Structure 1
Amino acid sequence: MMDKTININIAGTLFQIDEEAFRILRDYLQAINNRFRNVQGGHETIDDIESRIAEIFQSQKGMAGVISKANVEAMIAIIGKPEDFDHTGTETEAPVYTSQRKRMYRNPDDSIISGVCGGIGAYLNTDPVLFRILFVLFTMLFGAGFFVYIALWIALPSARTDTQKREMFGGAYHSTGSPIRQPDNTFVSSAPVYNSGYNNTSRIGNAFNEIFRALGRVCYIILRIFLIIIGVMLVLTGFLFILSFVMIFVFKYPWVFSADGFDMNFIYFPDFLNYIVSPASAPWIIALTSIAVVLPMLALIYWGVKMIFWFKAKDGIVSLAGLVLWVLSIAALSIILFNEGISFAETAKISSQNIFSHSPDTLFVKADKKVSDLKYEKELSLKREAYTVFINEEKKELYIRPHMNVNLSDNDLARVEIRKLSSGRTEPDARKRAEELLYNYSVNGDTLLLDEYLTIPSGRKWSADDVGINLYIPEGTVLKFDSASENLLHARSGFEYEEDSDSTKWVYNKRLWVLTDDGLKPLSSQPAKQK
Structure 2
Amino acid sequence: MNKTVNINLANTLFHIDDDAYNKLRRYLESIKRSFAGTTGSDEIIADIEARIAELFLEKMENERQVITHKEVDQVIDVMGQPEDYMVDEDIFEDEPKKSRPQQETRNKKLYRDIDHKYIGGVCAGLEHYLGIDALWIRLIFILLAVFTSGFGLIAYILLWILVPEAVTTSQKLDMRGEPVNISNIERKVKEGFDDVADKVKSVDYEKMGNKVKSSSKTFFDTIGDIILFLFKVFGKFIGILLIIIGAATLIGLFFALFTVGMFDAVHFPGVDFYEIVNTTGAPVWVVSILLFFAVGIPFFFVLYLGLKILVNNLKSIGNIAKFTLLGLWLISVGILIALGIRQAAEFSNTGSVHERNELTMENVSDTLVIKMKNPGYEYTRDDVHFGRMSFAYDQNDKRMLISDDVEIRVRKSEDSLVNITVRKDANGSSSLAARERAKKIDFGYELVGNQIILDEYLTTDTSNKARNQEVSVTIHVPEGKMVRFEQSTKYHIARGIENDRDYYRSGIVGYLWKMDKDGELKCLDCPELEDTDDGDGNNKIIINEDGIDIDIKDNQDSFQMKIDEDGIKMKAGQKNNN
- TM class by smaller structure: 0.3 to 0.5
Return the structure number with greater relative CO, CA threshold 8 A, min gap 6: 1
Max Rg structure: 2
TM-score (norm. length: structure 2): 0.41
